Amino acid sequence: MFSPLIDELIESLRCLPGVGPKSAQKMALYLLEREHKGADRLAGALRSALDKVGRCSSCRTLTEEPECSICRSEKRNNGVMCIVETPADVIAIESSGCFSGRYFVLMGHLSPIDGIGPDELGLDKLKNIVEYNNITEVIIATNSTVEGEATSYFIAELLKDLHIDVSRIAHGVPMGGELEYVDGNTLALALDGRKKL
Amino acid sequence: MFSPLIDELIESLRCLPGVGPKSAQKMALYLLEREHKGADRLAGALRSALDKVGRCSSCRTLTEEPECSICRSEKRNNGVMCIVETPADVIAIESSGCFSGRYFVLMGHLSPIDGIGPDELGLDKLKNIVEYNNITEVIIATNSTVEGEATSYFIAELLKDLHIDVSRIAHGVPMGGELEYVDGNTLALALDGRKKL
């Protein structure tokens, strides 16, 4: 509908998650009408990130360094490892300020239908790290979805014969949550995991 | 929070309209984890659009050619001109298939507070085109907002002494609109602009 270069820009903006044809058109016109500077910065940032960002050689998170800043840090407790699905989960846990160990980022979850098995999640590497790095405790913090639970179970089985503590983060009513609006499964887990006062 | 290049990508995605910090983070990680190809295409499309897209020399819409495809077309009725605020409005009217004349794109509306006056909207050029190109009718299709109405009024005054037909698109109840849910101003306009059956 527009000229070819504008159409191409609209079409390529659609690769962004949650951006449909109408938003893509709005974004493209906004950039071309009023945000040349921002668009230029975005093009540059995309190019450098694509060229340089790779995986951390220890924890597999996204970083442009050979090792990410958490793995490089000497202030972390190297005996405890938290296993999460994505780099965003690392940030979420770091923001809580309650964990000072190291991470292992699966970059996904087991999903045989999409061809994602233990190899794609680097589980052999995980076992190696746990075995040869004096890790004494592993906390599995995959998502509370069917796939996340399956992945958690698989990892627990994998680490069983190493005789270390393997735990799963607690499930229950979120802070500030009103019982009335909490779903049945969560309530069942909250009751099941009750703690003595 | 992430490594510098990823943070820069997240920050630069925020120049997109409607994208806040959370969506920008989601987009950046999505691109880096799963959409290298799309991100590459987006970076390229941004760069070419920035380098090449400018304004049509006649109607001021966005295009990479000296003149846009509508202005170049020989099938259009060159005697009628429709004045709109943005390139997206041109596409909206073109999609309706009900107009075959030429356009003039203001690329905004009068807004003294933002420093947008008649010069920024190219109104001198508009008057020239209307005066020297045998335009017999001008349809003003700026938005039905306060600024759009003010712009429309200003243009009507500007073209007054050229003695051509100047009209404003009709306002009223939209097709499929239920009276119950139409606001009072629109209803007042709909009653005022009633047509004999």
Nearest residue, CB atoms, A25 vs list B8, B25, B88:
B88
- Inter-chain contact B16–A31, Cβ cutoff 8 Å? yes
Distance of alpha carbon A149 from alpha carbon B158, whole angstroms: 69
Together in a domain, B34 and B96: no
Domain assignment present for residue B15? The answer is yes
Q: Do B26 and A18 touch (CB under 8 A)?
A: yes
Q: What is the pLDDT of residue A174?
A: 86
Nearest to B45 among A9, A25, A62 (CB): A9
Calculated CA dihedral for residues B140, B147, B107, A44, nearest 10 degrees: -150
Residues of A in contact with B32 (CB under 8 A): 49-50, 53, 62
A159 and A84 within one domain: yes
In a domain, B85, yes or no: yes
A29 and B62 within 8 Å at the Cβ level: the answer is: yes
Q: Could you tell me if B46 and B88 lie in one domain? A: no
Q: Decide: B39 and B32 in contact? Cβ < 8 Å.
A: yes
| Bridge partners, A192 (sequence order) | none
Cβ-contact A9, B45 below 8 angstroms: yes
Structural domain including A158 reads 76-168
Rounded CA gap, B197 and B122, in Å?
A: 40
Residue B108 within a domain: yes
Domain for residue A99, yes or no?
Answer: yes
Q: Strand A62-63 to strand A54-55: parallel, antiparallel, or no bridges (unpaired)?
A: antiparallel
Rounded CA separation B24/B16 (Å): 9
Which residues are CB-contacts of A61 (< 8 A; sequence separation ≥ 6)?
Answer: A55, A68, A70, A87, A90, A103, A105
Are residues A12 and B44, on separate chains, in Cβ contact within 8 Å? yes
Q: Quick check: A37 pLDDT over 90?
A: yes
Cβ contact B85:B106 at 8 Å: yes
Residues linked to residue A77 through DSSP beta bridges, in sequence order: A101
N-term to C-term CA, chain A: 66
Contact between A28 and A9 (Cβ < 8 Å): yes
Token pair 């938005």 in the structure block, residue: B143
Query: Radius of gyration of chain A from Cα atoms?
Result: 21
**Angstrom distance (rounded) from CA B67 to CA A190:** 66
Would the CB atoms of A68 and B3 count as touching at under 8 Å?
yes
Instruction: State whether B92 and B164 are in the same domain.
Output: yes
Map tokens 């442009």 to a residue. A64
pLDDT for residue A130: 92
Q: Sorting pLDDT into bands at 50, 70 and 90, what band is B148?
A: very high
> In this predicted model, what pLDDT tens digit does every residue of B33-65 receive, in sequence order?
989 999 999 999 999 999 999 999 999 999 999
Number of domains chain B contains: 2
Contacts of A3 in chain B (CB under 8 A): 53, 62-65, 68-69
pLDDT tens-place string over residues A92-105: 999 888 899 999 99
Are A84 and A48 part of one and the same domain?
Answer: no
pLDDT in tens, A62-79: 999 999 999 999 999 989
* Whole-number Å distance between alpha carbons of B56 and A31: 17
* B45 and B82 belong to one structural domain: no
Indicate if A90 and A155 belong to the same structural domain.
yes
Average pLDDT of span A81-92: 92
pLDDT for A159 beyond 90: yes
Q: Choose between A178 and A127: higher pLDDT.
A: A127
Looking at the structure, tell me whether residues A91 and A139 fall in a common domain.
yes
ipTM: 0.84
Q: What residues form DSSP beta bridges with A137?
A: A80, A165
- List of E strands, chain A: 54-55, 62-63, 77-84, 101-105, 137-140, 165-168
For residue A95, being part of any structural domain is answered with: yes
Share of chain B above pLDDT 90, in %: 76
CATH number at residue B157: 3.40.1360.10
